[in-house]
Structures are given as C-alpha cells and as structure tokens.
Structure 1
Amino acid sequence: MKNTDQIYGIRAVIEAINANEPIDKVFIQKGLKGDLSREMETLLRKNSINASYVPIEKLNRLTKNNHQGVVASISPISFLSMEELVEQVAEKETAPLFLLLDQLSDVRNFGAIIRTAECTGVDGIIIQKKGAAPVTADTIKTSAGAAFRVPIAKVDHIKDAVFFLQASGIQVVAATEKTNNTIYDVSFTAPTAIILGSEDQGITPSILKAADHLAKLPMLGSIGSLNVSVACGVFLYEAVRQRMDAIPK
C-alpha cells in the first residue's frame, strides 16, 4: 500500500491523513465518485492538503500499483507548526532569522534556498500548506541534505505567519523591487524574518502591505531581477555580514 514516497488507494490515503503523515499533495482521478472518495476529499479540505484532479493516465505514470484513482506524495521530512518553530527558536540566545516563502513553486529553487539557509544559520523556513513547492527527492538533492537540518513549518496562510512573527517581536522584511530602499538601508541585526515571493508573481500585495520593511537588490544590468534562490542568498549574506559586524571585536 505504501512505498518510500507514495501512498496509493483511497482508504490508505484516509488512514495516512488521520495518522498525520506529512502528505504534500494528493492526485485524484477526474470523475472519481463514491462515499469513500467524498470522505477523503472532506479530510483533504479540513487539513488544507493540496489536491489535484488529473486524468487516469497521470496516476498510471505515478505508480504501477492498483491506485484506485488516488496517489498521495509523502514528504521525506516532518514539518513543525508555526508555534512550535518560534518556541523552539526562542530558547536560543542569538537574534532569530527566519525565511517566509510566499507561493514558491519550483522544487529545485526550494532546495537551493534550504541549502543557503543552512549555510547562513537560518533558524527556520515557513511555507504555506497549499500552493508551496513540496519537499521531494529533487528538493533534498538540491539542498545537499540541508532539508534534514533546517526546521520547516507549514501554515494555512503566510499573512497569518507575518502577524504571528510580528507579535513575537520579529521584524518582517519583504524582498521586492517595489521600493526605493535597498537591502543596505535595512538593519538585519534585530530578530528578522525575510519574505521571498514566487518565481513569476513575487510577493502577494496584501503580504507586502503587512511587512515592516521593503527592500530590494540594486540591479545595475539590463535584466530586472535575479533567480529567487540567488536573491535569497544575497539577502541572507547581508544579514550575516551585519550580524558579524555587530559582534564586539
């Protein structure tokens, strides 16, 4: 019924949801009917689990087993809640540094960001339950195993995470070109969470409005933006530089 990264069959998926397995996404055959499938779909909505309705050919490519119209992908890591992550970090003596990823969808970009986050001492990464890039084998590989070292929390909405962090005394800095301020105008020595947007849409406007600071990278060439994982690295290493400079010599 289950291998290292998949669960297939309606009843098996229902049991996995009830057992709090780290399900990233569920693929459901279009037109699937029946009481059991309706029960599963209700559980998916209740637990904010990503679901896509696909042709049976897609499911047949995902597994050679008797999938009964449903295949779920399982994350190789466990996720924290927002409260668990902040509580865990609160015990440290250094100013916390978080990343918030707003609808980032590319698994390799996600992996590269996790790798950079581990190298720069990021305390945790926060993603949305729906619409975010899943943690797949490609994510793990691109992260060079850092996905097993950096805590990752899932939330229903990134905006809720922003408000929760702000209430916990953590400033929120949005990485966006929609500002005149550069990263060199922002202090990263305080407890900080940096928001990065999706590859094509950037940060959601309502989340931009909620941020404490907006900051951009100075772009001197003709191309208007960097790959999101590269931009993430620049932001994080500016935070590292400022924090190292702030340490008494």
Structure 2
Amino acid sequence: MTTSLINISDLKFRYDRSDNWLLSIDNWSLLSNEHVFIEGCSGSGKSSFLNIITGLIPIKDGHISILNEEINKQSKIQSDRFRANHFGIIFQMFNLIPYLNVIENIVLACSFSKRKKERVLKKGISLNDEAQRLCRELDIDHSLFSKSINELSIGQQQRVAVARALIGEPEIIIADEPTSALDERRKNQFLELLFTECEKVNSTLVFVSHDQTLKSQFKKVYSLSDSTLKLQSKSNQETEISPCP
C-alpha cells in the first residue's frame, strides 16, 4: 500500500528582513515512490522549500512530518543525522569534492550516515563495490574510477552526483535544478536515467526546476507561485507555459 512520506501543514516562512511570506502552504503531502516536479521562477522559493524539507532551514510556523518524524521539532544534530540517513541530494552545481576521486566522492555519503552504510553492508559487499556497481549502472567507465572530479566532463560529474545521492538507498531523492548545465538531448537522457535508478531502489523523487520543458515527463507537477504550491491538471501541464520575468 502506498503511504504518505511527507506531510506539511500550516507552513509559513519568510526571511528575517522581509515583510512578506516567501512560503505559505496550508497542506501538502507526498506519497512514497512518487516522482514529482516542482516549477517556479527564480526567487519563487523553490530552493528555500527544499532547504526546509531537508532541515537545512528551521521553521517557526507550521508542521513538517517526514517518515513520521516531526522534523520541525528536531535539534540541529538530529536534523543533520536525519538528512544524512534518509535523503540523497543532487545539487545544481553537484557539490563534489575536487580532490577526491570518483569512488571516494560516492562513498562519502556513507561516511555521514551509519544507516546508509549498514544498508550497503547488508548486501554482503563493501562500500567501494557498491559505488562501482552504481557507476556501472550509470555508465561511468571503469577508467574514471580513480580520476579526480576536476578531470571529468560536466556530464560525467553529474552521473557521479547521482551515484552519491543513490548509495545507501535513501527514501527521498532531492534534485535541485540538476539539468541547468545540459543541452536538450542530455537533459532527457538524464531524466530517464534518474527515473530508472530511483525506481530500482524505491526512492521518492522531488525534482525542482524552472525549466518547464521537462515537466511533461512527470505524472504530478506542482507550481510554486504566490507563496504556495499548486497542483497542475494534466491539461495545464501540456498547454500552459508561464514565462518567468
């Protein structure tokens, strides 16, 4: 049975020097194994929303439950541990460590999460073996395993970032503008790859972008505007393109 993974209620958020609410979300929920697209113009609050649900930004108003944990009540240490254990994050600029090689970058995610490490070791394989397996799944050539990140192309770095997000089978994958540096062909290839890999490990995918050409590939699309998340109908997904200023 599909269960609710994330529940948000009565969320209000603004930065300290602002008089206006950046986010005002009465109710929003996400089911396990869903793949959702969240669109919005620059400055609409997309990144702030992601930072809130991953616990990077604490909230004063509202309630957020993830995996039945009230994350708005967690201490910073608890929040950091929860994020490391249950989230895999693909950043816009990848945030890979330049002086580490490919395998070291991927395994790094398990260094901060005992839970992820245990999930890998329960398979009867080492962390390095699992990192190499993910590389093969993501078509990262064996010859690149020992190379530093600076020696890789943008596309190769992106695949390493995906592998790092997937290792340890986190329940939630967050993708924050991950295709901004790619051409149209590579964007579509990346999405197909991401969907496939998330399905293999039963991860829920939250994909955030201002690129509306991608949203038709998602069954559920939300628009972040006027401080709130609005579910788009299928007809609107296919016909409406609201230009950003």
TM over 0.5: no
TM-score computed with the length of structure 2 as normaliser: 0.23
Say which one has the larger Rg. Answer: 1
Q: Choose between structure 1 and 2 for higher RCO, CA contacts under 8 A separated by at least 6 residues.
A: 2
